[in-house]
Amino acid sequence: MNNFVFHNPTKLVFGKGTVEKIGEYLKKDGIKKVLLLYGGGSIKKNGVYEKVVRSLTEHGIEKVEVSGVRPNPVLSKVHEAIEVARKEQVQAILAVGGGSVVDSAKAVAAGFYYEGDIWDAFIGKYNIKKALPLYAILTMSATGTEMNGNAVVTNEKTGEKFYFGSKYTYPVLSIVDPTTQFSLPKEQVVYGAIDAISHVMEYYFDTVGSSLIDRIDEGIIKTLIETTEIILKEPENYEARTNYCLATTLALNGLTGMGTNGGDWSSHELEHSISALKPEVAHGAGLAIIFPAWLTYVKDKISDKLISFGKHILNLKDEITPERTIKELKNWYSSIGAPISLKEVGIKKDDIDFLVEHATKHAPFGTVISLNKEDIRKIYEIALE
């Protein structure tokens, strides 16, 4: 285990009836005007919007709205929201939605004070030095963005999908009420689980770790597998939802990275190219395809960990091999409705060049194996099968 510092400044407010408390928390923090940022309008159908607005009104908090944040969020919407936030001189950003909304809100919060294009933070030309306070009400658990400082956005003009991470863009407070997620489509449950499982695996397969964190990792992944299967059959099973939601948060709030080299993250880099090429492909769907392909490519370097994964997480018995573990993981993904090859999402051999060129912009990357252009191409070719 490496030396480490763990500090997470986000207050997590979790459970039934917590959405209505947002006005109380904002007032307590001295916030009088917020930019309310949300997506395509599902929060108006499930009652969350009404609860938020009522809470803000009751506590004397003014709001201006920007809606229309889409899955795989785009830079133009971030620019629009920054402009509104500056014009209206808001004191904070209130993000209500899933990971795309919260990620966009982080970019808006950081861009509010930056005189240049906030895209500079995504391409490494600007280190964030200040951001507006960010409050989040999560309506889809998946990315863990509610309790970290990371954001992923696509630049439509360049076709690039990149990320930044900053200590200044951790939410001040995040509210997670599992009951608001009862009506989510099944595919969002599936891809949210795979996203969170992938976050944990990025650390689990790191070359440095600890037995304690490994056990925590295994517990989170097992919980996600078990609760996903329950939720797909019983969408309003509150106990399953609570464990599912908390597991996705813990997957990427720093807990699972304690004592590691910081995680490998190759699979995430490789997946970003997939959804840059095809924005309609959910991040979790892309990870279901690319992570097993990466595992196949590096299996000789992490054979012991793959065997442990098969034994402790997938409950495999007798003759556990790295190959069998990978196969069973893919089988589980397929059983819950996720794609497990690039062909299943309409990506063909002719598209590999685009994927390679996009991913190579950040190469070399990875801690298990430092991937170069040739390695990247081979992994995409494995993912085609």
Domain containing 50 — which CATH number?
Answer: 3.40.50.1970
Please tell me whether residues 374 and 277 are part of one structural domain. Answer: yes
In order of 58, 92, 289, 313, the CA distances from 295 in angstroms are 52, 41, 11, 16
User: Is the residue at 3 inside a domain?
Assistant: no
Please tell me whether residues 265 and 240 are part of one structural domain. Answer: yes
What does the pLDDT look like over 54-71, one tens digit per residue?
999 999 999 999 999 999
What does the pLDDT look like over 207-236, one tens digit per residue?
888 899 999 999 999 999 999 999 999 999
User: Is the residue at 5 inside a domain?
Assistant: no
pLDDT of residue 208: 86
Helix axes 303-312, 211-233, angle to 10 degrees: 50
- Domain endpoint, select from 180, 199, 222: 180
> ∠ CA(303), CA(227), CA(196), 5° rounding?
55
Please tell me whether residues 213 and 356 are part of one structural domain. Answer: yes
Mean pLDDT of the chain: 97
The answer to whether the beta carbons of residues 289 and 383 sit under 8 Å apart is yes
The answer to whether the beta carbons of residues 266 and 351 sit under 8 Å apart is no
pLDDT of residue 41: 82
User: Is the residue at 342 inside a domain?
Assistant: yes
What does the pLDDT look like over 236-254, one tens digit per residue?
999 999 999 999 999 999 9
pLDDT of residue 385: 86
User: Is the residue at 143 inside a domain?
Assistant: yes
Please tell me whether residues 17 and 153 are part of one structural domain. Answer: yes
Please tell me whether residues 333 and 197 are part of one structural domain. Answer: yes
Mean pLDDT of 322-344: 98
- Domain endpoint, select from 138, 164, 180: 180
Helix axes 266-277, 352-360, angle to 10 degrees: 130
Range of the domain at 312: 185-384
User: Is the residue at 2 inside a domain?
Assistant: no
Q: State the Cα–Cα distance between residues 351 and 339, nearest whole angstrom.
A: 17
Of the candidates 242, 369, 244, the one whose C-alpha atom is nearest the C-alpha of residue 298 is 369
Please tell me whether residues 351 and 372 are part of one structural domain. Answer: yes
Q: What is the CATH number of the domain that holds 328?
A: 1.20.1090.10
pLDDT of residue 331: 98
Please tell me whether residues 311 and 267 are part of one structural domain. Answer: yes
Number of folded domains in the chain?
A: 2
The residues facing 35 across adjacent strands are 64, 93
DSSP assignment string, 210-245: -HHHHHHHHHHHHHHHHHHHHHHH-TT-HHHHHHHH
Helix axes 238-250, 211-233, angle to 10 degrees: 140
Q: Is the pTM of this model over 0.75?
A: yes
As a whole-number percent, the residues of the chain with pLDDT over 70 amount to 100
What does the pLDDT look like over 69-103, one tens digit per residue?
999 999 999 999 999 999 999 999 999 999 999 99
Please tell me whether residues 230 and 133 are part of one structural domain. Answer: no
pLDDT of residue 369: 97
pLDDT of residue 52: 98
62-66 β-sheet, strand order: 11-14, 173-176, 134-138, 92-97, 33-38, 62-66
- Domain endpoint, select from 163, 180, 197: 180
Please tell me whether residues 374 and 348 are part of one structural domain. Answer: yes
pLDDT of residue 209: 80
User: Is the residue at 1 inside a domain?
Assistant: no
Classify burial at 384, counting beta carbons within 10 Å of its beta carbon; exposed 0-12, middle 13-18, buried 19 or more. middle
Q: Does 106 have pLDDT greater than 90?
A: yes
Please tell me whether residues 176 and 192 are part of one structural domain. Answer: no
What does the pLDDT look like over 172-203, one tens digit per residue?
999 999 999 999 999 999 999 999 999 999 99
pLDDT of residue 339: 98
User: Is the residue at 305 inside a domain?
Assistant: yes
pLDDT of residue 181: 97
User: Is the residue at 358 inside a domain?
Assistant: yes
Please tell me whether residues 242 and 354 are part of one structural domain. Answer: yes
As a whole-number percent, the residues of the chain with pLDDT over 90 amount to 97
Please tell me whether residues 232 and 143 are part of one structural domain. Answer: no
The answer to whether the beta carbons of residues 36 and 97 sit under 8 Å apart is no
Confidence of residue 364 (pLDDT cuts 50, 70, 90): very high
What single letter denotes the amino acid at residue 115? E
Q: Where are the alpha helices (DSSP H) in the chain?
A: 22-28, 42-45, 48-58, 75-88, 99-111, 119-122, 186-204, 211-233, 238-250, 266-277, 283-298, 303-312, 322-335, 352-360, 373-384
Q: Is the peptide bond before 292 cis (omega within 30 degrees of 0)?
A: no
What does the pLDDT look like over 196-205, one tens digit per residue?
999 999 999 9
